Amino acid sequence: MARCRLNRPPLNLLDPALLGAIRTCFEDLAREASVRAAIITGAGRAFTAGMNVRVLHDLDVARAKGLITQVHEAIHAVHEAPFPVIAEVNGACLGAGFELAMACDLRVAADTASFGLPEVRVGVPSVVEAALLPLLVGPGRAAEILLCGTAVPAAQALAWGLVNRVAPAARLQETTDELVHRILECAPAAVRLQKELMIRWRKTDLATAIQLGIDAFAGAYATGEPQEGARALLDKRPPDWSAGAGRAAR
């Protein structure tokens, strides 16, 4: 399991250098078959409060397009990671930082965290991975967040399905680790197959999604994990996923 920390406290404001580091980090992790999950969090009192306004101040049309493309490329590397990614939201999660959290598969928030897309309050729309918001909370709630630019507190985010868990700040890492442990208990190859399906489901129609699932189910039997999982269930013991992989390799 990898833990990635945005380390520009207190607010971890995003700029081209930090965006490049996020992209590089997740592209590198994606090439490591041993990585089974990743957590991304922030140092200090914020997950990230979004883009550094100093970067935005003097943009023209061409440079604005280049910057927002770089934002997308960094967040896309997180969104397309071949392993589950969990956002551990330790504080303010705003603008592009909120989009980064939405690109993760799961979100765990401190009870003091807040989420918002305040871009309309400073003259631009929320874009790129903000498009994920209606899928998470529904079109009506998404419209309220996008059009009002006001922040959503952690408790409301939980009620709206925007986050999976809320915990006191002192127990945030423990709560995140408990969720990750549940993932790590599962069959490693099956989790990767499931994540691949989740990515592909976002981009296709229902009939194609179902066929992709049929192919993935059948392909899982080449890993040896389904055989080991069934044996373990029948033997009333925990599965040994390394044994399943070993049998598949022979």
* Active-site residue (options: 88, 119, 129, 225): 119
Name the fold adopted by 188-249.
Answer: Lyase 2-enoyl-coa Hydratase; Chain  A, domain 2 (1.10.12)
Full DSSP string of 211-226: HHHHHHHHHHTTTTHH
pLDDT of 250 higher than 80: no
Q: Which of 88, 68, 86, 75 is nearest to 26 (CA)?
A: 75
* Active-site residue (options: 27, 80, 88, 99): 99
pLDDT in tens, 50-68: 999 999 988 999 999 999 9
Residues of the chain within CATH 1.10.12.10 domain(s) are 188-249
3.40.50.12780, 3.40.630.30, 3.90.226.10, 3.30.70.20: which CATH number matches 2-184?
3.90.226.10
pTM: 0.94
Active site residue 225: no
Residues of the chain within CATH 3.90.226.10 domain(s) are 2-184
Active site residue 119: yes
pLDDT in tens, 161-194: 999 999 999 999 999 999 999 999 999 999 999 9
Cα–Cα distance for residue pair 30/141, rounded to 1 Å? 33
